[in-house]
Structure 1
């Protein structure tokens, strides 16, 4: 990582609360409400019921509840996805869940375990950003600035190793003058490489750490612009709690 890249990343980490503060916690919990067109593309329905998302900060692990039934939750790790009851009984599970998406296109139907895996890695990523950029094997480089309307955003391209389960190996992140995340570009590899531009805003703060309260992911066109008429995923986050 060059000195310039390191300087931008350091400013980004500080703007979101600082790496030292983040390292002092092990879990974050939040209430999430999810919508968007992706679920219908996958043959699923998505309601507006608030759910509790629990994300571990220093291991790739997460859980959402309720899932499928009031007394059920997910248990996500990169090498295993499970749906279990609140007293720990396994309802369904799948080892090596990423392999189950092989050959999927944008409209390939998902079963509940596909959905649980997607939720698990995606929310783990979102609720650990930008601090996951410091994980072993992650490489960060600064790109040329980006003009977004009247704003000029600095950008980091982040290369994730195979040991980190996320949307795709290379993702771009855009930061405002305050060094807070504004936009996140990626391809959804588990859905045929669907290109997305996710805008984030309405920051909330807990324990001195800052996370966006709203995330809106749109299909991204060939000119790297969001197609506003195609909202893929909407996530509202509230009640952020670190422990």
Structure 2
């Protein structure tokens, strides 16, 4: 395993503890201009996110109505009543984003798909990078103020849904995640820089509880005058 990835996994709780766990849950409050651009402005209602840790499967509730939730896998996304009745579903959902620009409106299933893969990624980083099919290589470090953050470029396998095939992860001197760069392929492919803050420990796993994603300029710097996506997590539990 790549040395930096090994150090990052250890700093976030260690592979042994990760292998003992199968699920994560967290209360989520999200916002940012991306959702308004997509015609689906996000309210500040807390929602409960559940993700599987060793396969890409996620759900959030409520979604669209108090008695509804989502069910996401890379090959299918649905909106369901809590008793399991399907309200709407889409097979092979990634194909629905073909030809999208940043301004192309999303429908609720598009939003559910984005939420599913994004929060799954965030709640499993950096451990997902050691899953079968991922490849990681070292990249030039990022300098932030007085700190230098070493980085990894991850190539996501085709069977894992993510923002983009290639994504960059930067870690602080303590080897905790500090920044995550990617292109948002489901929104026209704009370049994003996401900063993470407020790390906490939950059931032996360390993870950031605040994320702020911005557009990324040609020089790699975040365009901080506009928050594209904000995510705040609380009541986190791994089991």
Question: Normalising TM by the smaller chain, what interval?
Answer: over 0.9
**Deviation at 1:108?**
0.3
How many residue pairs get aligned? The number is 239
1:49 aligns with one of 38, 45, 48:
45
Q: How does 1:27-66 map to 2 (within 5 A)?
A: 27-66=23-62
1:225 alignment partner in structure 2: 221
Question: For the residues of structure 2 that align with 1:143 and 1:45, how far apart are their CA atoms?
Answer: 36
1:206 aligns with one of 177, 202, 227:
202
**Deviation at 1:161?**
1.2
**Deviation at 1:145?**
1.8
RMSD (CA atoms): 0.7
2:109 aligns with one of 113, 116, 137:
113
**Deviation at 1:139?**
0.5
Q: How does 1:96-111 map to 2 (within 5 A)?
A: 96-111=92-107
1:184 aligns with 2:180: yes
1:14 alignment partner in structure 2: 10
Question: For the residues of structure 1 that align with 2:205 and 2:131, how far apart are their CA atoms?
Answer: 18
| TM-superposition CA deviations, 1:28-81 (whole Å, max 9, x none) | 000000010000110112100100000000111000000000000000011000
| TM-superposition CA deviations, 1:110-159 (whole Å, max 9, x none) | 00000000000000111010000011110111112221111111111111
Question: For the residues of structure 2 that align with 1:44 and 1:7, how far apart are their CA atoms?
Answer: 41
Gaps of 5+ in 2: none
Gaps of 5+ in 1: none
TM-score, normalised via structure 2 length: 0.99
**Deviation at 1:194?**
1.2
Query: Runs in 1 of length 4+ with deviation above 3 angstroms?
Result: none
**Deviation at 1:19?**
1.1
**Deviation at 1:207?**
1.2
2:119 aligns with one of 95, 102, 123:
123
Question: For the residues of structure 2 that align with 1:201 and 1:117, how far apart are their CA atoms?
Answer: 25
Q: Helix, strand or coil for the counterpart of 1:226?
A: coil
**Deviation at 1:102?**
0.3
**Deviation at 1:222?**
0.5
2:170 aligns with one of 168, 174, 198:
174
1:78 alignment partner in structure 2: 74
